[in-house]
Structure 1
């Protein structure tokens, strides 16, 4: 993508209202949201080294969406393959949607032009907050931006280690068939017929964008990534299992997303706000991030339009993070098989309610019904184990900070 708003560094530091650190998904969505909400009159700078790869985001959405013009595809129904066989899930009035990063970046670039954004091609190495503003320094230690607020979307380590740390790691092949091989009206959301790892869960995705084009992906939830050959072998075996032939791989993408109950510091200092995964946008039990990043962007834009501080709400309720911690513990300790967990969750509940839960949008009453559909005894054991681990950690922290006599 050719950046449409690019300048060199001015002599001396640039004074702005907002410094956006990094130009990935979170910042792109924020720029589009600022433009869409009609935020004007702010001095904005984006600080980014200018290197980014193509990636794909999948998310749940309604019957209409601001990204409709650039979606690769959207499906009103999805298939789930599990022990109970094939289940077709009707998502109406919602859809499962997919969009590649390049058009999202292009929309952000167009929004940035209308907003008068300045782009600094630099790596931000230091953010120094004095309580009334933030000084942004580059890799040479030079102050390049002075901002009232810094919104930082760079990866960051959690505050402390969690009780469970897994990854959602994957490799996807964009393929082209020499004949009509896919149903564009339906996607395979989770296919648990893949060989399951000794510790963790694996599944396949098939996301068609046309009769002859699709993204086919192999995903694992587990503690460690595979080798390149491991992903390629798993994808080849999955395609063979699907009976697909005559496919040509046109592009490859892969990645790893943290799945952990470790807490992330969403506001490390008074005027620095973190976005994306570092800002808690990744759902610990699934690795889904895109929808929460969009909520963060819209909340910040609405706050700025109202003259308030650009600080979004917590992406997920605390009770959801607790439930995710319990689920991760149950899978990690082998108390519950993740394929069974997800199959029961989707097939014993309204799929739309499940999707809303995964986005953190359900009520406590709805969540009780969802929890009742999961294996109760092993999940109770996991909850008690999580409580014991939390209690022990609190005692350890209390002992560490207790003053000596």
Structure 2
């Protein structure tokens, strides 16, 4: 005979970065009277992804960071821009410390772990039955936080991907500047449709993550990523004979203006990319995931429902949709678009905008830094697309997690974002 479902107050479906941050936040806020369960077939551990983000120093992440920088570079064919970020910092966090902290939080919180994939969430408005096969519910939860990758409610008007491959390089002598990260280096060959750039995150003078990234509609082959990375390594003047590739990272993140549904039913709340945490114009996700976790923990500690605020203001999602359309239709070039943003705004304003934290006045300043005519064209085209969506609301979602890229190393597909 099958066992009756376990009753819990909060079930985390999916045990990756978003769930790990929630567990750590609940522990940090000393939530001890809550029955919690995690439903995931895999117990996450080790270094399976790297997050890069900006924030203010002096928070719960300080002792987990691999590195941080108060200065970054943006590089175009026109030259190098050294950007002072203070009082912000640009930070790099590997997944291992987050998973370790979540494991300790699980122990302290007395979490029940179900080592299976959730097949269905049946919400009757009072409880959610979590099923790991079609017939047998394993949990009955008051609330569910679901961080599994999901497509948007309908296909976006623009559907791009941020996709990348990075090499962790160890040099036999000092070759990297640990005081400065390279945020975007647009000297890479630009694709026929899309934007590419290089990226350097130095941990110390001999150890760094060097990455090739594209914003575009389609993935490359593994060999193509390696060729692009080798070309970028040579562009940086690094001697391959003095370097060892110690790890390889790959990632694929959706960049779409399709709407993600954060509350699919009364007691199910989605987090991470599925909950709208990915910024459509850049693919950045971690800061919004971290905010969601903090908001959930504060709400639970105060006896409120575990429902975070919207990850980004509606006006920012609209601005992202217009920017994506302008890039997709080749109305603006990627290096020019991002170069003008950093040229004509303080770095802190651009980073706060990308984090969804700017005021309306600052948003207007950001908008004025772009070229007027192509953005007006993209705005009218976006408005026409929104009208078509209202007239044809039944279009089915088309976004799915793309297949891994083909290469010598097994890729870690990252759908939780930088």
Normalising by structure 1, we get a TM-score of 0.94
Q: Which runs of 5+ in 2 are unaligned?
A: 395-418
Superposed counterparts of 1:4-403, under 5 Å: 11-50=3-42, 52=44, 54-139=48-133, 141-245=135-239, 246-397=242-393
- Alignment RMSD: 1.3
Post-superposition offset of 1:339: 1.0
Alignment match, 1:5: none
- Give, in angstroms, the shift of residue 83 of structure 1: 3.0
Change (3 A) 1:329 1:116: same
Higher relative contact order (CA 8 A, sep 6+): 2
C-alpha distance in structure 2 between counterparts of 1:126 and 1:188, whole Å: 43
Change in Cα spacing, 1:282 to 1:164, as seen in structure 2 (3 Å) is same
Paired residues, number? 389
Aligned partner of residue 15 in structure 1, secondary structure: strand
CA distance in 2, matches of 1:384, 1:225: 29
How far did residue 12 of structure 1 move? 3.1
SS in 2 for 1:257: strand
Following superposition, the deviation at residue 51 of structure 1 comes to 5.7
| Residues in 2 aligned to 1:139 and 1:242: alpha-carbon distance in whole angstroms | 52
Q: How far apart are residue 172 of structure 1 and its match?
A: 0.5
SS of equivalent to 1:316? coil
Tell me by how many angstroms 1:396 deviates: 3.5
Q: Give the aligned partner of residue 402 of structure 2.
A: none
Residues 315-344 of structure 1 deviation map (CA, whole Å, 9 limit, x = unaligned): 000000000000000000000011111111
Following superposition, the deviation at residue 70 of structure 1 comes to: 1.4
1:328-383 alpha-carbon deviations (Å, 9 max, x no partner):
00000000011111111012111011111000000111110111011111111110
1:140 Cα deviation (Å)? 5.8
CA-to-partner distance for each residue in 1:174-194, whole Å, 9 max, x for gaps? 010011010111000000000
Question: After alignment, is 200-209 or 34-43 more displaced?
Answer: 34-43
Q: Deviations over 1:17-49 (max 9, x none)?
A: 001001100000001111112222000000110
Deviation at 1:225, TM superposition (A): 0.5
CA distance in 1, matches of 2:293, 2:148: 15
CA apart distance, 1:390: 1.2
Tell me, what secondary structure is at the counterpart of 1:124?
coil
CA distance in 2, matches of 1:396, 1:189: 40
What 5-or-longer segments of structure 1 have no aligned partner?
1-9, 399-405
Give the drift of 1:64: 1.8
Q: Conserved in 2, the CA contact under 8 Å of 1:125 and 1:141? A: no
Deviates more, 1:138-147 or 1:346-355: 138-147
Could you give the per-residue CA deviations for residues 200-246 of structure 1, whole angstroms, max 9, x where no partner exists?
Answer: 00000000001100000000000001000010000001001111011
Greater CA drift, 337-346 or 139-148: 139-148
